Amino acid sequence: MYFYLLIRVNDQSSFSLLNASRTLTEQHGDFQVQVPEVDESVLVRINRLLEREVERRQVSLNDRQNQIRIVINTDQLFRSGSADVEPDYATLLNHIGTALMDVEGRIIIEGHTDSIPINTLRFPSNWHLSQARAEQVKALLERAGNELGRYSIDAKADTHPVAGNDTPAGRAQNRRVELVLLPNSEWR
């Protein structure tokens, strides 16, 4: 049996392609997908553009699965139950937005929460809160780089913790936003 899978490459194709690969492998046996590698020079350029922030450990860069992940290393970006970026970090996000103007590719902003359930009029669930956090960061980055249409959001809620949620410090680390650069994608 042969079957073909045609996927249009777009801003989130790496995620879609890898997820499709996993599903097809589970349903039909071995299935391989080739995802283009990240050009090393893109990672080097971002590292140079954010050199000061990387040295201060405010930001870390990870390269995996055709993505460059820009992680803002703070547990103080958001207060518990809030989507408002703390004022001290608006300047950092402004600088990141300006730096990203020199790099090609779409950017997905992932919003994350801790595991404490929220149920307010504004945020009926952690998913809504994580979406609002990503939207706040998106607005700051778009304003900094004047690049409307480049950014999209992905609300993760509390599904991808980086620390345990059993302590206040762990929960604070999980209240975050990560930027995922897809350098092999076009957006203009």
Residue-range domains of the chain with CATH: 7-36 (no CATH), 40-182 (3.30.1330.60)
Per the structure block, which two tokens stand in for 71?
Answer: 């992680």
Q: Identify the pLDDT of residue 93.
A: 94
Query: Which residues touch 155 (CB under 8 Å, ≥6 apart)?
Result: 110, 111, 127, 128, 130, 131, 134
> Do the beta carbons of residue 114 and residue 163 sit within 8 Å?
no
pLDDT tens digits for range 78-137 = 888 999 999 889 999 999 999 999 898 999 999 999 999 999 999 999 999 999 999 999
Q: Identify the pLDDT of residue 186.
A: 79
Q: Identify the pLDDT of residue 155.
A: 96
Give percent above pLDDT 90 in the chain: 52
Query: What integer is the mean pLDDT of 32-54?
Result: 76
Q: Which helix (H) or strand (E) holds 16?
A: helix 13-28
Query: Which residues touch 86 (CB under 8 Å, ≥6 apart)?
Result: 76, 77, 78, 79
∠ CA(70), CA(187), CA(43), 5° rounding? 30
Range list of H helices, 146-179: 168-174
Query: What integer is the mean pLDDT of 49-54?
Result: 92
Specify the DSSP class assigned to residue 80: T
CA distance 159 to 115: 8
Q: Identify the pLDDT of residue 29.
A: 66
Query: Which residues touch 6 (CB under 8 Å, ≥6 apart)?
Result: none
CA separation, residue 25 to residues 20, 64, 119 (Å): 8, 21, 38
Q: Which of 94, 112, 184 is nearest to 154 (CA)?
A: 112
Residue 188 above 80 pLDDT? no
Q: Identify the pLDDT of residue 31.
A: 56
Mean pLDDT for the chain overall: 82
Residue 156 above 70 pLDDT? yes
Q: Identify the pLDDT of residue 30.
A: 66
Give percent above pLDDT 70 in the chain: 78
